[in-house]
Amino acid sequence: MTLIIVGIFVLLAAASIVQIEPGMVGVKKLFGKVSNNTLESGLNLINPLAKVVTFDIKTENYTMSGVQDEGTVQRDDAIHVLSADGLDVIVDLTVLYKVIPSEAPRILKEIGTDYKNVIVRPVCRTGIRDNAVYYDAVSLFSSKREEFQDRIFKSIESNFRDRGLMLEQLLVRNLTLPESVKAAIESKINAEQEAQKMTFILQKERQEAERKRVEAQGIADYQKILSSGLSDRLLQYEMIKAISASPNAKLIIMTNDKGLPIMVDTK
């Protein structure tokens, strides 16, 4: 009899001690009633008849992707949204979130332990669809992408917090546009590149035209200086000097301004 009593006591003692792992919190549940207090990591004493439900309070990742085996759901789980211009845009999204430790009892009461599928997934998908309608497809793909991401974050963050979850980060990983829109964007990019190329060519031509103008002006100025500064005597002198430099020249006969001959022996 004594051994039975000791055995029962040992079992009760063992059932009264529960260990909570790091990064987790525990919530006590007794006969359907949920305690408002949480159990921290380590050893905790509890009512041996109570059951402890644990919640992971570390950062969790939920990815919705159109690539097979890349998202949390092992199939095409990308989000199809309608843009402001009525086009179908496919969005791949990743959210980083975690359970607020003090809110774990409320989550157990109101949502249960499957908050990922009950809250995270539907709230994110609804938030993306509700906000995509404010942007046209091209803006979502280019200039407004970051603004779109921030807008989704703000709308989802408050919804998460109301349900005991903290949204840490939201990443729009990929946006897929209809093929017709892709072709239009590529055409626009090519046109812009051609325009930039033509601008460069025109600028280069203008620079070349300016260089030729300056060169022509320089030649004209040079000729003007020569025509105004050279006298007949100077020209005769320069001619004699040029001819004298030739090894074949022996005698130079020229006339002066009075018509008289001038003979110069170069030797």
Tell me the CATH number at 105. 3.30.479.30
Residues 138 and 239 grouped into a single domain: no
pLDDT at site 175: 79
pLDDT at site 78: 83
How many Å apart are CA 77 and CA 124, to the nearest integer? 12
Residues 52 and 99 grouped into a single domain: no
Tell me how many domains the chain contains: 3
How many Å apart are CA 188 and CA 182, to the nearest integer? 10
Domain stops at, among 184, 214, 244? 184
Residues 89 and 130 grouped into a single domain: yes
The model carries a pTM of 0.60
Residues 132 and 80 grouped into a single domain: yes
pLDDT at site 237: 63
How many Å apart are CA 235 and CA 229, to the nearest integer? 11
pLDDT at site 131: 87
pLDDT at site 103: 93
Q: Print the SS3 string covering 64-94.
A: ECCCCCCCCCCCCCCEEEECCCCCEEEEEEE
236 domain-assigned: yes
Residues 78 and 170 grouped into a single domain: yes
Domain of residue 251, residue span: 231-267
37 domain-assigned: yes
pLDDT at site 260: 47
Residues 168 and 240 grouped into a single domain: no
3-state secondary structure of 1: coil
pLDDT at site 252: 56
pLDDT beneath 50: ranges in the chain: 9-10, 259-261
149 domain-assigned: yes
pLDDT at site 215: 78
13 domain-assigned: yes
pLDDT at site 160: 93
pLDDT at site 142: 76
